[in-house]
Structures are given as structure tokens and as C-alpha cells.
Amino acid sequence: SDFELTLIAEDAQSGKQFLAEGIAEIERIERLISSWDPASETSQVNRMAGVAPVKVSDELFELVQRAKAISRLTDGAFDVTYASVDPIWTFRGETITPPDSSIIAASVAKIGFQKVLLNPSDKSIFLPEKGMKIGFGAIGKGYAADKVKSLLQAKGVNGGIVNASGDLSAWGVQPDGQPWQVGLVNPKNKNKVFAWFPINDRAVVTSGDYERYLLMGGKRYGHIINPKTGYPAQGVISCTVFAPKAELADALATALFVLGIENGLYFVNQLPEVDAILIDDEGKLHASKNIEVDETI
């Protein structure tokens, strides 16, 4: 995933120094949580699934704890253990023949955030079944955005935006005192922005099906999996969530894809300080109770 950092500094030299520190933090988090890096703690936990608990850093332990809590909050629409279905689907825009339903059923059987055993006394994580996997594809970018923001804030940077491939965490204001503006991309034409929002000290996260998708039976499917069925979720083509933290917004944006328009907005409307804009597969806009939108894009 691409990251883009914007920040305010006294001069170019200190600005570059802050950018380098932000990038180092992103790389550190990637080494810790990536499923692609065989040396990461995440990969170690996954390799030992069904074998033994793995002691991890406080940081990974707490991330899994929070991810498990969000899995529960969304009733498993976001599920930190969705990743056992990962090898089945690739989302590169190509047409595929539907995978065998028995293969899907077998990997769905491995999913279940409830089964993840967290032992707070030795900070170990145990996935009790072989083939179970944790993965942070739907929450890790948001987590990294929050971490870089707090690191830079702690170093005295009083305004900036961390953009983690569409997961934005912003603080402060622009040098001219104006609020930062975030543009929401039109999922049907990704070079066009359909709305601008001022943001201050909040996160804005968009999950869309326009970047990673596949075609099956003439239909388009985005890269978010319904953990209950093992098939890509349908009905929503873009979902933007506003929340105090990018980590929560990231996980919720993924969950709303799975929950769909009606259940998703009902859910968001119960959460304090969280708002969402969803676009359905006909291009119609739907928003949570604090946002007014036009009907279509």
C-alpha cells in the first residue's frame, strides 16, 4: 500500500526529518504486522496455528485484542481471522470461474474471532486450529496512520495528514489556518472527487471495490469477504467512515461492506462519533444520520 505524508514544519530540513521518522514508523509497523513478511509476529502466530501459543510484543497483543473486540462489535462482519479464505480469491480485475464451494466451506470453517486465545499473563496468542490465520488487511493501514499521527504530534508537529492508501488521519489546520479538506473519490470514475469535507483531528477512511476486484459470472466483486459465507460481499461499491481514530474507521469501513446499506447504517447510527457514507451498486448515496447527501453521484 502507498502512504502519503503531509506535515507542517518550521523549515524544509526539519520537515524532511519528520517525514523520515514517519516513514520509519510505517516500516516498523509493517515488519510487525504484515502477513507477507514471514518474519513478522503475525506470520509466526499463523505458522503455529493448531500447534502452540506464540509470545508476541505488547503492541501486537493489544492490536489483536482490539481487533477481536471490533470483530465482536460488528458481529463478525469484520473478522480478524477472515484470512483463511485469502488463498482462494485473487482480486486483480480478471474473470474467474467460481471456486469449488466445498473449498470455500472448508476455509470458512476456520474463521472465527471467538476462537482466538489471548493469554494476558504471558502475552501469547494461540490459534487453536491448523489453517486458522489472523490478518490485518482491513485495519492495519488505519492503525499505522494513527501511530504516525501520534508520533509526529509527540514530536511537536502541529498539523498534518497521514494518508495510508485512502485511510486518512489528520490533525491541526493548514498553514493559512483553513481546515484540511478531504476529497471523496467517485467509485465509478476514480479520477473524480464527488465531495469535499473539512476535517480536524479525525480520521476518514474509504474502502472501495474499484481498486481490487474480480469478475465472476459477468458480475463484479470487490475484495472484501463476507466471513460468514467466504464469498465477496456485494451491494456496496464504496464506503467512507468518519471516526476519531483511523484504526476503528478502517475496520468499520470493511464491516459496512459486509453488513450492507440498511444494516450498516443502522449499526453506525448507534455508534458515538462515527459517521458513514455508502454508495450502492446503482450509484446511489446513503449516509448516516448526521450527514446529508444528494441521491446519486
Q: Residues interacting with ligand AMP, by CB under 6 A?
A: 78-79, 82, 135, 137-138, 207, 223-225, 227, 250, 253-254, 258
Q: By Cβ distance, which residue is nearest to ligand AMP? A: 137
CB of 199 to Mg ion, least distance (A): 18
Whether 143 and 33 have beta carbons less than 8 Å apart is answered as yes
Q: Which residues bind Mg ion (CB under 5 A)?
A: 138, 250, 253-254
Three-state DSSP class for 280?
strand
Give the Cα separation of 113 and 99 in Å (integer). 24
CB of 39 to Mg ion, least distance (A): 24
258 interacts with, out of ligand AMP, Mg ion, none, CB within 5 to 8 A per kind: ligand AMP
Give the Cα separation of 265 and 206 in Å (integer). 15
Nearer to ligand AMP by Cβ, of 180 and 231: the residue is 231
Nearer to ligand AMP by Cβ, of 139 and 161: the residue is 139
Nearer to ligand AMP by Cβ, of 224 and 243: the residue is 224
Nearer to ligand AMP by Cβ, of 157 and 258: the residue is 258
CB of 81 to Mg ion, least distance (A): 15
How many C-beta atoms lie closer than 10 Å to residue 229's C-beta?
14
Which string of b and e fits 41-78 if b means at least 16 CB within 10 Å?
Answer: bbbebbebbeeebbebeebbbebbebbbebbebbebbb
Alpha carbon distance, N-terminus to C-terminus of the chain: 27
CB of 78 to ligand AMP, least distance (A): 4
289 contact partners, CB below 8 Å, separation of at least 6: 269
Nearer to ligand AMP by Cβ, of 223 and 286: the residue is 223
